[in-house]
Structure 1
Amino acid sequence: MAAPHQTRRPDPLTLEVVQLIGEAVARFHADYEEAAAEHALTGAQARLLSLLSLEPLPMRRLARKLRCEPSNVTGIVDRLEARGLVERRSDPGDRRVKVAAVTAEGRRVARSMRGSLRFAREPLAGLSERERLALRDALRRMVGDDEERAGAAD
């Protein structure tokens, strides 16, 4: 008879890395929420605006990136559209699909918000380019390429 599956306890280094990741995430979220609030945005609105400042995206893809229901994305886009920060357009590749796109004012707000993120700027500035590249590559391996595969389904 096989022994029941036992989960190995993480080693001390792994526990410390997990704790440090948690601390970094908490600091980033607090800084992000503060930057969003300075522009009268919620965290979700700020994240959506930030994503759209990179490229227009279909609503379903936005929902996947934000890890929420498409109906939530519709509400967020509605509120940002009412403020003149985003607009809905037909997808040039498929006129049946609607994409959300940032307006010039939305791009300005997103840029201003990014500029006020102290946590993203100050600690990373203390790392060399080589260290930032190593950190980026390690984080990419940790999170995998699920978003790339999900994006291919659009």
Structure 2
Amino acid sequence: MGTPTAAQPTMTELLELLAAVGAAQGQDFAAAAARHGLTSMQAKVLAQLDGPLSMHALAERLACDASNVTGIVDRLQAHGFVLREPSPTDRRVKNVVRTERGRETILHVHQEMRATHAALDSLDETEQAALYALLERLRPIMEYPADDR
């Protein structure tokens, strides 16, 4: 008992496989973003903006410094992908809002992720549903981990 079998991968095997899939998906995302003249980080900003977000909230979601987000948003705004607007609850706070051009562009980026689409297309509907359910269970734990588990 306790010895991993082919059906029971080790934690290390799971972590390595998850990292490899994540890295490949990240490379695919970056390549699709580049075809639209965006850096990977600029595309990540667009992907996060499903509604208005403060610069601070955006920095937290991206796990980066607010000063980095300012430069990224500046460049996105200069190209018409986002707008800054005052928060309706606190006029000192600026919210970042995706424009229609930004929404259409990130939609195209996601549609053009060829390697990721090919990988997911290799799964049948039942496998896709199972993968979705598993990832849906993992996402909140990974995005909002309990303090020092």
What TM-score bracket applies, with the shorter chain setting the length? 0.7 to 0.9
* Rounded Cα–Cα distance in structure 1 between residues aligned with 2:92 and 2:130: 42
For normalisation by structure 1, the TM-score amounts to 0.78
- Post-superposition offset of 1:24: 0.7
- Tell me the residue number matched to 1:101: 97
Are residues 1:135 and 2:131 paired? yes
Structure 2 stretches lacking a partner, 5+ long: none
Q: CA separation in 2, counterparts of 1:84 and 1:125?
A: 33
- Matches of 2:87 and 2:115 in 1, distance apart? 35
Deviation at 1:148, TM superposition (A): 6.4
Change in 2 beyond 3 A, CA 1:92/1:145: farther
Q: Secondary structure at the match of 2:123?
A: coil
| Runs of 4+ with deviation above 4 angstroms | 145-149
Aligned in 2, Cα 1:148/1:99: closer, same or farther, shift over 3 Å?
farther
Identity percentage of aligned residues:
40
Please tell me whether residue 43 in structure 1 is matched to residue 40 in structure 2.
Answer: yes
- Once the two structures are superposed, residues 30-61 of structure 1 have per-residue CA deviations (whole angstroms, 9 ceiling, x without a partner) of 11111111111111001001112x22211111
Instruction: Count the aligned residue pairs.
Output: 139
Structure 1 residues 146, 24: closer, same or farther in 2, change over 3 A? Answer: closer
Q: Normalising by structure 2, what TM-score?
A: 0.80
- Return the alpha-carbon distance in structure 2 between the equivalents of residues 37 and 72 of structure 1: 19
* Paired residue type of 2:29: Y
Distance in 1 of aligned mates of 2:86 and 2:16: 44
- What does 1:49-128 correspond to in 2, within 5 Å? 49-52=46-49, 54-128=50-124
